[in-house]
Chains A and B, each alone.
Chain A
Amino acid sequence: MSLQEKKAVFSILSSLLILGGYFYYTFGIHADENLPLQDNVQFWASFTLTMIVVTIILKIIAHIIFNIILAATNEGEDPEFMDEFDKKIELLSDRNGNYIFVLGFISSMIPVAMGKPVYYMFLILLIGGFVGGTLSDLWKIYYYRKGV
């Protein structure tokens, strides 16, 4: 597995762990406080904003740990370096991931239009963002293996 593929796999795993952990923290450990608020728009807005900040901070920490591990294994390649092949693959996979997110965004409007509770909208939005990001990384692995 190449360095670029390892980066994509690590990104998928870290996203899964961070989001899973955050959801477990909010709706598992603090379920008594948060579950009654699931119809409250203010709760979902603060939940989403906090999740974005937490995800960014933890992703940076995970990124640093990943780079330390790479330096320790002594692969001799700069993990931050991107050439034209990497940039083309990133553009293609990000485009595909963004299509999924837009699909999720449009789908999130459907339950609101049907008069369903507001948490459906936020959940579909969050799932759309997560699936879009994960598929974007999976497409990276696919493009690295199959070529562009």
Chain B
Amino acid sequence: MSQQHIENNIRTLRFFKDELTQQALAQAVGVTRQTIVAIEKGKYAPSLELAFRIAHYFQVPLEEVFTYHPALDKIKSSKKKNPKK
């Protein structure tokens, strides 16, 4: 159930913030350490609110924290049988 189409740089950002611990980041953004672990491993795509909170904490744009790969996204598009033109 990993979110391969959404990558993140949280581990790198933590490293450049004096090896910030997962627990400290979790407390700063208001989640549990388990959630940070799941996001880092790509097992959970956070809500937009949490994503912004993480980006805000590191003082970087959202795109520097999360990267979206459309080619890997197995999106279920709704198909119309008889589309009207």
Give the residues in chain B near A3, CB-CB below 8 Å. Answer: 32, 34
> Which of these binds chain A: B7-15, B36-44, B68-76, B77-85?
B36-44
Q: How many A-B contacts if CB must be within 8 Å? A: 46
Interface string of A65-84 (1 = CB under 8 A from B): 00000000000110001011
Interface range, B side: 10 to 19
A144 within 8 A of B: yes
- Assess whether A84 is in contact with B47, with CB atoms less than 8 Å apart: yes
B61 within 8 A of A: no
A141 to chain B, nearest CB (A): 12
Give the residues in chain A near B34, CB-CB below 8 Å. Answer: 2-4, 85-86, 144
A136 to chain B, nearest CB (A): 18
- Assess whether B43 is in contact with A147, with CB atoms less than 8 Å apart: yes
Give the residues in chain A near B31, CB-CB below 8 Å. Answer: 83-85
B42 to chain A, nearest CB (A): 8
Report how far A1 CA is from B45 CA in the complex, Å: 21
- Assess whether A83 is in contact with B3, with CB atoms less than 8 Å apart: no
A116 within 8 A of B: no
A60 within 8 A of B: no
- Assess whether A146 is in contact with B32, with CB atoms less than 8 Å apart: no
Report how far A4 CA is from B35 CA in the complex, Å: 11
- Assess whether A81 is in contact with B1, with CB atoms less than 8 Å apart: no
Interface string of B41-55 (1 = CB under 8 A from A): 111101100100000
- Given A84-B46, A84-B50, A85-B38, residue A146 in contact with residue B33 (CB < 8 A): no
Q: Which A-B residue pairs are the 7 nearest by beta carbons? A: A147-B43, A83-B31, A85-B35, A147-B1, A2-B34, A146-B1, A147-B44
B interface residues, Cβ below 8 angstroms from A? 1-3, 23, 30-35, 37-38, 41-44, 46-47, 50
Question: 26 A-B residue contacts at CB 8 Å?
Answer: A2-B33, A2-B34, A4-B32, A4-B34, A77-B32, A77-B33, A81-B32, A83-B35, A84-B35, A85-B32, A85-B34, A85-B38, A85-B44, A85-B46, A86-B35, A143-B1, A144-B34, A146-B1, A147-B2, A147-B3, A147-B38, A147-B42, A147-B43, A148-B1, A148-B43, A148-B44
